[in-house]
Amino acid sequence: MPHYGDLQTAIYSAGLSGIQPTLPVDFATLRARAEAAMPPSVLNYVQGGCGDEWTQDQNAAAFRHWGMVPRMMVDCTTRDLSATLFGRSLPSPLFMAPIGVTGIVTQDGHGDIAAARASAATGVPLCASTLANDPLEEVKRACGDTPALFQLYTPRDPDVAASLVSRAEAAGYDAIVVTLDTWVTGWRPRDLNVSNFPQLRGHVLTNYFTDPAFLKLLAKPPQDDLRAAVGTWGATFGKVLTWDDMGWLKSLTRLPIVLKGICHPDDASRAIDCGADGIYVSNHGGRQANGGIAAIDMLPAVAEAVRGRVPVLFDSGIRSGSDVVKAIALGADMVGVGRPYSYGLALGGADGAAHVLRCLLAEADLLMAVNGLPTLAAVRRAGAVRTDR
């Protein structure tokens, strides 16, 4: 059977004919190439974090103090990276985390569609953001047969919230991922220093500007008075959610509700008690709050509290295939990658993002092979060891 790691053989074989990869296979070179290709305003928004970006940097660095212990004399000629999520079979545990400016990462302004096409090409599910340049329905169609999730920034207006969720359900998304930590924007110096906030310039607001409930709030269509439409968006964005809102969220849809931003085990337990169908461990990549603990370091306690009752999703700091395997070892069921696929989009659109995803999966597959871990279950049994204590 084919394995993700076969990509390595294909690259070496092509090299015998003088063909080298057009895009980098490692994160450092990928980032450098993307930095040279992206406009400064977009690059700063994609790369930037909160405050002095300590937490953002720690998200990635913290993977280095978790180590895998190889096991020998195990037949790993066949590996199985398959996973399941809400009853859907998936070829791997990798998914594309939601990024609110995906739409403007590609030169044509349709990065959301490009990301969806990369999802369709690789079988890696996309968690589509509310903030997009293309309507959520078109994004879902571009995903093809690959399952997709819809990330919700819950509007203050209940009718707009209900409408967005209803549209996502009708479009065929598999779950609603409710982001909890972005009812107000964190302090982001990179953007503040150049007074750049893309949404206030009318970018990535298509899901609102095509929503019937939102349009009812406007005196004129967005194309006739963009400034007023953006102002209305600002006034409706960012409902402060509490545990009392769980019943209302559940009433909006038959789809599973996943709570994104859960980092404390007590919050995970309470979320499940309140009806959450999934727990998403994330600190928003360090973009919303600085001075916190790296997300990977908070994952084990949350996974222990969940005890397999619902799926545990994870993102923040994933930069390599080994990071993906470590997150699985520490309790994640599904692992989200963000900035790396954004860089792929910037360099090569859908093909660029698909290349990044395939490289991550190839590295993860080969790591499992040489570490004597033929399945994700074996990875979880092996766990990971903290090396800085």
Question: b vs e for 309-335, b when ≥16 Cβ sit within 10 Å of the residue's Cβ?
Answer: ebbbbbbbbbbbbbbbbbbbbbbbbbb
Tokens of 131: 């903030």
Alpha-carbon gap, residue 71 to 115, rounded angstroms? 36
Range of the domain at 179: 5-386
Give the strand pairing for 334-337 and 312-314: parallel
Model-wide pTM > 0.95: yes
Selection from 125, 132, 127 nearest residue 94 by Cα: 125
Please give the tally of structural domains in the chain.
1
Is residue 348 within 8 Å of residue 22, measured between CB atoms? Answer: yes
Q: Would you give the distance in Å from CA 154 to the centre of its chain?
A: 17
Asked if 303 and 333 touch (Cβ cutoff 8 Å), the reply is no
> Residues 285, 56: contact at Cβ < 8 Å?
yes
Task: Express each pLDDT in 338-377 by its tens digit.
Answer: 999 999 999 999 999 999 999 999 999 999 999 999 999 9
| pLDDT of amino acid 1 | 60
Catalytic residue among 3, 110, 203, 284: 284
Q: What torsion do the CA atoms of 39, 143, 356, 11 make, to the nearest 10 degrees?
A: -130
* pLDDT at residue 2, rounded to an integer: 80
- Write 32-39 long-range contacts (CB < 8 A, 24+): 33/343, 33/347, 34/342, 34/343, 34/346, 34/347, 37/346, 37/347, 38/105, 38/346
Burial environment of residue 212 by CB neighbours within 10 A (0 to 12, 13 to 18, 19 or more): exposed
User: Can you give the CATH number for the domain in which 140 is found?
Assistant: 3.20.20.70
Alpha helices (H) in the chain, listed in sequence order: 6-15, 27-37, 40-47, 54-61, 111-122, 136-142, 158-171, 189-192, 206-209, 212-215, 226-236, 246-251, 265-273, 295-306, 321-329, 339-370, 376-382
CB 352 within 8 A of CB 346: yes
Count of alpha carbons within 13 Å of 109, Cβ hemisphere only? 9
Give the mean pLDDT of 209-233: 98
Helix (H, G, I), strand (E, B) or coil at 259: strand
- Name the percent of the chain lying above pLDDT 90: 99
DSSP 36-94: HHS-HHHHHHHH--STTSHHHHHHHHGGGGEE-----S---SS-B--EEETTEEESSSE
pLDDT value at residue 50: 96
Q: Determine how β-strand 148-152 pairs with β-strand 176-179.
A: parallel
Please give the Cα distance from 268 to 185 (Å, whole number): 23
- To the question of whether residue 381 is assigned a binding role by annotation, the answer is no
Share of residues in the chain with pLDDT > 70 (%): 100
d(CA 236, CA 230): 10
Determine whether the annotation assigns residue 317 to a binding site.
yes
Report whether 339 belongs to an annotated binding site: yes
Task: Give, for 128, the enclosing helix (H) or strand (E).
Answer: strand 126-128
| Close Cβ partners of 201 (under 8 Å, ≥ 6 residues apart) | 230
- At residue 389, the pLDDT reads 74
User: DSSP secondary-structure letter at 237?
Assistant: S
Joined tokens for residue 234: 């600002």
Q: How far apart are CA 270 and CA 288, in angstroms?
A: 23
157 is in an annotated binding site: no
For the segment 151-160, the average pLDDT, to the nearest whole number, is 98
Tell whether residue 326 is among the known ligand binding residues. Answer: no
Over residues 101-128, the pLDDT tens digits come to 999 999 999 999 999 999 999 999 999 9
111 is in an annotated binding site: no
Q: In terms of residues, how long is the chain?
A: 389
Residue 300, marked binder: no
pLDDT of residue 161: 98
Q: Answer whether residue 173 shows pLDDT above 70.
A: yes
Mean pLDDT of the chain: 97
Residues 323-337 have pLDDT tens digits of 999 999 999 999 999
Q: Give the mean model confidence (pLDDT) for residues 290-319.
A: 97
Rounded average pLDDT over 77-91: 98
Catalytic site includes residue 284: yes
Residue-wise pLDDT for 24-76, tens only, equals 999 999 999 999 999 999 999 999 999 999 999 999 999 999 999 999 999 99
**pLDDT value of residue 149:** 98
What integer is the mean pLDDT of 90-96? 98
Q: Cβ neighbours of residue 297 under 8 Å, at least 6 residues apart? A: 62
pLDDT at 150 over 80: yes
pLDDT of residue 123: 98
Annotated binding residue 286? no
